[in-house]
Copies of this chain bind each other. A is one copy, B any other.
Amino acid sequence: MSAIQNPYYSSEFHGEYDLISIGRLDLEEGGSIPDCHLAVATFGTLNEERDNAILVTTWYSGTHQIFRDAYIGSQHALDPGRWFVVVVDQIGSGLSTSPHNASGANDALAMSAFPHVRIGDDVVAQERLLREHFGIERLALVVGGSMGAQQTYEWAVRFPDKVRRAAPIAGTAQNTDHDFLFTRVLAEAITTDPGFAGGEYSSNAEVVAGLERHARIWGVMGFSTEFWKQRVYQALDFSDMDAFLAGFLQPYFTAMDPNDLLCMAWKWQRGDVARHTGGDLAKALGRITAKTFVMPISEDMFFPVRDCGAEQALVKDSELRVVDDVLGHLGLFSVNPDFMPQLDAHLSELLETTA
């Protein structure tokens, strides 16, 4: 089938961004993307020495827009007055080359024909983009949350000389079995919807029931038990949990493309820097030379602090910086007013280090 339209993946919902071709991208799992486009939003100016660049990587379902809205600004560590911040949307995000928008030279990859993409493919694509398009050879910082943390670790292991500092937030270098199971359950909520039709639906609206179930599973794992107990959503003007699901989590996901989500889910399940070292995680993380702050979220139910801490212990020049947030993993949305101040403090301190 050919690519389909989905108005969600537009500047109307994601603000300004550039769509930059990096040409043909050969994939780790075989096959290639003939003309890979990356959606890129930049903030600030690259200095003459080209040493003030920060790469921000994106999470499952997320794009650059959340970073523009909440993470980047003169009041934040990611200050465009000082840094050249480049946010690159991951392959499959719906803005970069993705199943639902594969057309033109990528026409043969549309929808269910889209190939499996790995975290490593994203990082290779990003490195090429930064080098060829921006002339950036070394990054002052790579930072990202969740799947963005997977990409951050991949950068630091694959290109140690190019990463001065790294800040993986709420994510791991090697995906856990539990996360694999969780992500499979998410994917199954989509693929078992009869409207999914093996990935050959003609509109995401045909898969709305599956996307809503997928959203409700996020409701169980994405926030903490305490988030629901304390009814934190009331601060967001939702009267009860069903209003919050119906007014926030469900529309958030039903706007998205099922194949795109599945592309990211497959990638998430298999994130693993130990692929570089024959399965030896300690050896892989031992390659990292970046000054690294590992930043799990205290109430995260599927990237728990202890999993992140175990990896941090394997990174030479690293510290564990736990971000307290009752929201759990989806604290990444920066809903809690206490979230960004903590993150900014850690990132500012990291950026001050002479790595």
List chain A positions with a Cβ less than 8 A from chain B: 176-178, 180-182, 184-185, 188, 192-194, 209, 213, 216-217, 219-221, 225-229, 231, 241, 245, 301-302, 304, 306-307
Contacts and interface: CB of A to CB of B under 8 A. Distances in A.
A178 B306 contact: no
B181 A220 contact: yes
Contacts of A188: 213, 216
Contacts of A307: 225, 229
A229 B185 contact: no
With most chain B CB atoms within 10 A of its CB, the pick from A228, A245, A302 is A228
Nearest to A306: B226
B229 A181 contact: no
Given A181-B219, A181-B220, A213 B225 contact: no
A175 to B, nearest CB: 11
22 contacts: A176-B225, A176-B229, A177-B241, A178-B228, A181-B216, A181-B220, A181-B241, A182-B220, A184-B216, A185-B216, A185-B220, A188-B213, A188-B216, A192-B192, A192-B209, A194-B194, A217-B217, A220-B221, A225-B302, A225-B304, A225-B307, A301-B301
Nearest to A231: B177
Contacts of A301: 225, 301
A178 B217 contact: no
Nearest to A227: B178
Main secondary structure of the interface of A (DSSP, over half): helix
A245 B227 CA distance: 30
Nearest to A182: B220
B220 A176 contact: no
A347 B301 CA distance: 31
A144 to B, nearest CB: 21
Contacts of A241: 177, 180-181
Contacts of A306: 226
A316 to B, nearest CB: 23
A341 to B, nearest CB: 25
B177 A228 contact: yes
A169 to B, nearest CB: 18
A257 to B, nearest CB: 20
Contacts of A193: 192
Contacts of A220: 178, 181-182, 185, 221
Nearest to A194: B194
A308 to B, nearest CB: 11
Given A192-B192, A220-B178, A213 B229 contact: no
